[in-house]
């Protein structure tokens, strides 16, 4: 029996095990995405789980199967935040003591929720700068006698995650043409693909990875799991350096279609979900929807008009303090926000001349600071400009040149840019 068929065989029992434990979250037709794509876009709202993500499904399915001795020894897990909340929920429900290891980059809101949900059953440990750093520490603690609860690289976890898809198909009452899912370490996509390939092989499966952490795509290209270096941890729920060995084998066997989207594109979708749909989504929660063909800037999946599409909105654990960065990344991705080093004349009225001669009627300066003051005739200033229309960018450069100033754009991939965003 292959890894895929073995995993698929475990999903019906996981459905029964989670009955009455996981919330039966709604599947909703999204009017905005439906209009933008010309297809029916149905959102599976796992952000409405008690822990605001689907992660409790896998954690509970695994922990409920532990022996009494294993439960007595306690469990340990590594998490970017959501898996830790799932383990905390399951620990409280099953009366198990759990140690949750999270990287220092985990938002405060997620850390607080882990402790609150665990109701005294949680020891929270901060370790490292990424999920993989936390995973190494969790493995060390597991070697001392605790039972490891993997976030993705375990068939029990993957089978539990897949139950959301079984539930969604029952709620829809029809089989969709396409299923779009976010991808981190591969637990969800492995479980979902195993079930779909055996129960509904005609359904197209699309996995969406963040551009800054495409560990599954890298593994497929290399033919084996590989470690990524210098990943972008913004989409923290899916920012994994290395896909699991088990999940990789299932994903490769299922021939899942993969797409990568830039983090700024995810931010734009987060803002649309919030401002138009009234949905608070974390970055990983908006990841799948960000790949839909809505006509925005950036790479999108190709879906025939008129298709019926099920999209997972995987989580809503977003720290409100992150929205300033979300807006900034979105503006930069859409070409509305630009930063320049401008050589300004060091004389009264220079800034006013820039405002009058360079900016268009709908443009605005959002940042201005002299980088270095000196006794020369000109000096560099760091200027942030927000364009009313991204298409006006060439005309902005032309007006800067015509007014006699020199300007050098600060590139997004420049180390200097990291001080701005």
CA atoms in the 13 A half-sphere facing the CB of 152: 31
CA end-to-end span of the chain? 49
Looking up tokens 């079984």, which residue turns up? 166
- Picking from 315, 250, 247, 305, the residue whose alpha carbon sits closest to that of residue 82 is 315
Q: Is 55 a catalytic residue?
A: yes
Handedness of CA 414, 415, 416, 419 (dihedral sign): positive
SS3 254: helix
Q: Is 376 a catalytic residue?
A: no
Contact (CB, 8 A) for 376 and 346: yes
- CA dist., res. 16 & res. 7, Å (int): 15
CB-neighbour burial class of residue 290 (10 A; exposed 0-12, middle 13-18, buried 19+): buried
Looking up tokens 């370790």, which residue turns up? 127
Helix (H) or strand (E) holding 86: helix 82-94
Q: Which of 44, 55, 146, 337 is catalytic?
A: 55
**And the tokens for 41?**
């876009």
Q: Which of 39, 314, 330, 337 is catalytic?
A: 314
Which residues carry out catalysis?
55, 314
């Amino acid at each position: 029996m292959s890894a895929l068929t073995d995993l698929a065989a475990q999903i019906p029992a996981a459905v029964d095990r989670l009955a009455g434990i996981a919330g039966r979250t709604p599947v909703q037709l999204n009017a905005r995405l439906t209009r933008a794509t010309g297809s029916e876009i149905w959102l599976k709202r796992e952000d409405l789980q008690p822990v605001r993500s689907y992660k409790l499904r896998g954690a509970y399915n695994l922990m409920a199967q532990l022996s009494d001795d294993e439960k007595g020894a306690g469990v340990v897990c590594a998490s970017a935040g959501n898996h830790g909340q799932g383990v905390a929920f399951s620990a409280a429900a099953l009366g198990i003591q759990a140690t949750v290891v999270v990287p220092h980059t985990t938002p405060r809101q997620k850390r607080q929720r882990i402790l609150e949900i665990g109701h005294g059953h949680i020891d929270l440990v901060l370790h490292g700068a990424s999920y993989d750093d936390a995973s190494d520490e969790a493995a060390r603690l597991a070697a001392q006698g605790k039972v490891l609860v993997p976030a993705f690289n375990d068939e029990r976890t993957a089978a539990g995650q897949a139950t959301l898809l079984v539930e969604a198909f029952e709620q829809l009452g029809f089989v969709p043409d396409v299923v779009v899912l976010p991808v981190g370490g591969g637990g969800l996509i492995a479980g979902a693909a195993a079930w779909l390939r055996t129960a509904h092989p005609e359904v197209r499966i699309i996995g969406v990875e963040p551009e800054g952490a495409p560990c599954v795509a890298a593994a497929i290209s290399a033919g084996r799991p590989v470690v990524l270096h210098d990943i972008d941890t913004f989409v923290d729920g899916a920012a994994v350096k290395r896909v699991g060995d088990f999940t990789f084998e299932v994903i490769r066997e299922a021939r899942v279609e993969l797409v990568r989207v830039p983090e700024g594109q995810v931010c734009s979708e987060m803002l649309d979900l919030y401002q138009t749909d009234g949905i608070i989504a974390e970055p990983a929660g908006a990841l799948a929807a960000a790949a839909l063909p809505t006509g925005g800037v950036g790479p999108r999946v190709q879906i025939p008009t008129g298709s019926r599409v099920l999209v997972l909105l995987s989580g809503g654990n977003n720290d409100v303090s992150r929205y300033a960065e979300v807006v900034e990344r979105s503006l930069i991705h859409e070409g509305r926000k630009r930063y320049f080093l401008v050589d300004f004349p060091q004389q009264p009225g220079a800034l006013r001349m820039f405002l009058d001669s360079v900016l268009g009627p709908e443009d605005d300066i959002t940042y201005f600071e002299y980088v270095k003051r000196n006794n020369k005739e000109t000096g560099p200033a760091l200027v942030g400009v927000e364009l009313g229309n991204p298409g006006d960018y060439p005309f902005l450069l032309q007006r800067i040149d015509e007014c006699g100033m020199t300007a050098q754009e600060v590139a997004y991939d420049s180390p200097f840019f990291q001080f701005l965003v």
